[in-house]
Amino acid sequence: MAQKRGELKSTRNRPVTEEVLLRDPLARAAFEKLIQKGGVDRKQLLSLLLRIPYASNKVLRLVDGMEDRTVRKLPDRIIGWANVIEKLNANPWLSPDRLPKQASVVRYPEGWPKPLNRILIPDLAEPAAKQLLSVPGALRFYADYLRAWLEMFHPVGKRRRDLGFRNGIQPQKYLILKLLRLVRNSAGSPCYREIANLLDAVYRTTGKPGPKIIVEHNLAKVEKNNEWLSWILREFSDCD
Give the whole-angstrom CA distance, residue 82 versus residue 78: 6
Which pLDDT value is given to residue 11?
54
Give the whole-angstrom CA distance, residue 70 versus residue 98: 36
Kindly indicate the confidence band of residue 3, based on its pLDDT and cuts at 50, 70 and 90. Answer: very low
What are φ and ψ of residue 237, in 5° steps? -60, -30
Torsion of CA 22, 26, 30, 35, to 10 degrees: 30
Give the whole-angstrom CA distance, residue 231 versus residue 64: 23
Strand partners, 66: 63
The answer to whether the beta carbons of residues 185 and 45 sit under 8 Å apart is no
Q: How many C-beta atoms lie closer than 10 Å to residue 89's C-beta?
A: 17
Kindly indicate the confidence band of residue 12, based on its pLDDT and cuts at 50, 70 and 90. Answer: low
Which pLDDT value is given to residue 14?
57
Which pLDDT value is given to residue 6?
43
Average pLDDT, stretch 122-131? 93
Which pLDDT value is given to residue 237?
60
pLDDT tens-digit map of 30-71:
999 999 999 999 999 999 999 999 988 888 888 889 999 999
Kindly indicate the confidence band of residue 144, based on its pLDDT and cuts at 50, 70 and 90. Answer: very high
Is pTM beyond 0.75 here?
no
Give the whole-angstrom CA distance, residue 173 versus residue 81: 38
Please compute Rg for the chain using Cα positions. Answer: 27
Distances (CA, A) of 67 to 38, 62, 170, 235: 43, 8, 16, 25
**How big is the CA angle at 216 (ends 164 and 200), to the nearest 5 degrees?**
110
Q: Where are the domains of the chain?
A: 5-61+166-235, 68-153
pLDDT tens-digit map of 84-110:
999 999 999 999 999 999 989 888 888
Q: Is the pLDDT of residue 19 over 60?
A: yes
Helices (H), the chain: 18-21, 25-32, 42-51, 68-90, 98-105, 116-119, 122-133, 135-153, 157-162, 171-187, 192-206, 216-225, 227-235
- The CA-to-CA distance between both ends of the chain, in Å, stands at 32
Which pLDDT value is given to residue 31?
94
Strand partners, 63: 66
Average pLDDT, stretch 16-22? 82
